[in-house]
A and B are shown apart, each in its own frame.
Chain A
Amino acid sequence: MFAIYKRELRSYFVTPIGYIFCGMFLLVSGLLFYFTTLANQSTQSLGEYFMYMIFMFAILIPLLTMKLFAEDRRTKTEQLLLTAPVSLTGMVMGKYLAALTIYGCTFLVNTVNFVLLYMYGTPNTASIFANILGVFLIGAAFVAVGLFLSSLTQNQLIAAVSSIGLNAAMLLLFFVVDSIPFEWLQNVLAWFSILDRYVPFMNQTLSIPAVVYFFSLAAVFVFLTVRVYDKRRWS
């Protein structure tokens, strides 16, 4: 598993995709941060900033995950991974953690932004921490979504576009759910609505059920990816 993790990590930086991801992440995030807080001279609008971040992740993270399995499938190198003495879970986790590492490190660098707030004002530390945790976990779930959809195709573009679609759908449910006429359908779809779970974080509370939910979302998609490979062997 560690070998696969290392190779994936390395491949992000021998191809431009790792640099593009980090660059775009920091650029867009920096601009959003400037316009929502610094330009407004207020820390009250931080919630708005985090909300924009979530939508940015929905689009940006699929760029990071699209190649994870699709590329191996196209070049047949997956045959190497699947005939090596590594378990399916080990293989999938290696790739998931590699993408998560790139995303996590960039995220960490990005938190430098908040230092500025402390230099010029007195922001609400609890609120910032709650939001950082919530947004990070949503991103981690998006990585799992991208991982899963990448395992279904050998075309990276299809993997990326379908991941963006699914991420966006889960976010937009927040606005759609209330206008659905059937209560049972409302309940089902509300379960998938990511932003509904995010509301408590915006109100400066750490919601344990929401944290568990985001973890489960990531786990479900990682598990589904393992199942995809298991099933492919048998059919």
Chain B
Amino acid sequence: MIEINGLSKVFGTQRAVDDVTFRVEEGEIMGFLGPNGAGKSTTMNILTGYLSATGGTCRVNGVDILENPLEAKRNIGFLPEMPPLYTDMTVKEYLSFIYDLKGCTFPRQQHIREICDVVKIGDVYDRLIGNLSKGYRQRVGIAQALIGNPRVLIFDEPTVGLDPKQIIDIRNLIRMLGKEHTIILSTHILPEVQAVCDRIVVINKGKIVANEKTEDLVTAVDGSRKMVAKVVGPQDEVLKTLKGVAGIRSVDVLGKRDTDSISYLIESEERVDARKPLFYTLASKGWPLVGLEGMELSLEDIFIRLVGEQRKGRNTKGGKN
């Protein structure tokens, strides 16, 4: 559906986007993740035809944005970082203007009404956009992107500046829209992508550092699993025994957290499930396992690790030179 190939953009001497390549399949919600200034907005601006790339190609639904911009733009609904609203118009007038601007051919009133129902702005339909709250403005921005039923939706940080309730509403809305549209969603808020996206592309300093399915990203970055086991038994002996279990790489004592059990942090070998041998070993020794808890890396950890690795990689390179 969306193919970006070797895309780069140079502003003066600064490479904002550097050889970015990724695909988004039909019906996918892709999270575009990166710290501020990583090149997310630039990539999206190129994809929507607002900026031109220095090199590389962008295709939307098989149409190149440079070769046939009007056709490609017809397939895209775009919500920029700052919703492009005319504050001197009412919601109704504004959406009607967008309808004309995109040259739609659906029945006008019905189409606009349907979209207002989807994004829940029916109650402010006749109000001036300038008088709306931030949350409503964001919704009007989304409504604007939806007009004309484009197959691809591109949202640049849609939840910035909203309150927690509104953030959840917008996320639900995006998830719902994902059923019928292909969506690219940029953000620097990690739980957001975890909650909404099927696939995550992480970008830092203009380069892609990861491109995985959401659930695969965790294991892709760190194959080993960590878990916390609570065992009742003599600390030194338990520690020694645990270290001997097949598939366990390291064990640390976390300390006494209950009245009688002691917690241990256990790290298994990569791609090995050490939980069963752990259980049988402890059972055979007669030490009850009273708790076992998996510790998955959160996206925050992954993100910091990915971005950190890139930085480290650069530093060592620089050192050698």
Contacts and interface: CB of A to CB of B under 8 A. Distances in A.
A86 interface: yes
A232 to B, nearest CB: 9
A85 B99 CA distance: 11
B254 interface: no
Nearest to B46: A233
B73 to A, nearest CB: 4
Given A14-B88, A84-B101, A85-B74, A79 B51 contact: no
A7 interface: yes
Given A83-B48, A83-B73, A6 B84 contact: no
B315 interface: no
A216 interface: no
Contacts of B69: 85
Interface string B42-63: 0001001111100000000000
A5 to B, nearest CB: 10
A15 B50 contact: no
Nearest to A5: B100
Contacts of A233: 50-52
Looking at A11, A14, A84, the one whose CB has the most chain B CB atoms below 10 A away is A84
B32 interface: no
A84 B73 contact: yes
Contacts of B71: 85
A7 B80 contact: no
A234 B53 CA distance: 7
Contacts of A77: 84-86
A82 B50 contact: yes
A11 B84 CA distance: 16
B70 interface: yes
Contact of B100 (A6, A78, A81): A6
A122 interface: no
B78 A15 contact: no
**Category for how many chain B residues contact A:** 20 to 34
Interface residues of A, number: 25
Interface string A1-17: 01110110011001100
A85 B80 contact: no
Interface in A82-104: 82-87
A172 to B, nearest CB: 37
A40 interface: no
B88 A3 contact: no
B279 interface: no
A79 B73 contact: no
B100 A85 contact: no
A11 B102 contact: no
A233 B66 CA distance: 11
B109 to A, nearest CB: 17
A138 B222 CA distance: 71
A75 interface: yes
A4 B101 contact: yes
B30 to A, nearest CB: 19
30 contacts: A3-B101, A3-B103, A4-B101, A6-B100, A7-B86, A10-B93, A11-B86, A11-B88, A14-B88, A75-B85, A75-B86, A76-B80, A77-B84, A77-B85, A78-B84, A79-B50, A79-B84, A80-B80, A80-B98, A80-B101, A80-B144, A82-B50, A83-B76, A83-B80, A85-B74, A86-B70, A233-B51, A233-B52, A234-B52, A235-B11
Which 10 pairs, one residue from A and one from B, show the smallest C-beta to C-beta distance? A3-B100, A80-B84, A3-B101, A85-B73, A83-B48, A77-B84, A85-B74, A233-B52, A85-B70, A76-B82
Given A3-B97, A14-B88, 8 more contacts: A7-B86, A11-B86, A75-B84, A77-B86, A79-B82, A80-B98, A82-B50, A235-B11
